[in-house]
Copies of this chain bind each other. A is one copy, B any other.
Amino acid sequence: MTKADLTIRPITARDEPDWRRLWTAYLAYYETTVPEAVYATTFARLLSDDIREPRGLLALAEDRPVGLVHYIFHRHCWRIEDACYLQDLFTDPAARGQGVGRALIEAVYGAADAAGCPAVYWLTQEFNYAGRMLYDRVGVKSPFIRYNRPPK
Contact = CB atoms under 8 A, between A and B. Distances in A.
A64 interface: no
Interface string A36-55: 01100110010000001110
B148 A120 contact: yes
Interface residues of A, number: 55
A43 B125 CA distance: 34
Given A139-B148, A142-B146, A74 B77 contact: no
18 contacts: A42-B77, A45-B75, A53-B75, A109-B149, A118-B149, A118-B152, A119-B149, A124-B147, A125-B144, A127-B132, A135-B147, A139-B147, A139-B149, A140-B148, A140-B150, A141-B147, A145-B145, A146-B146
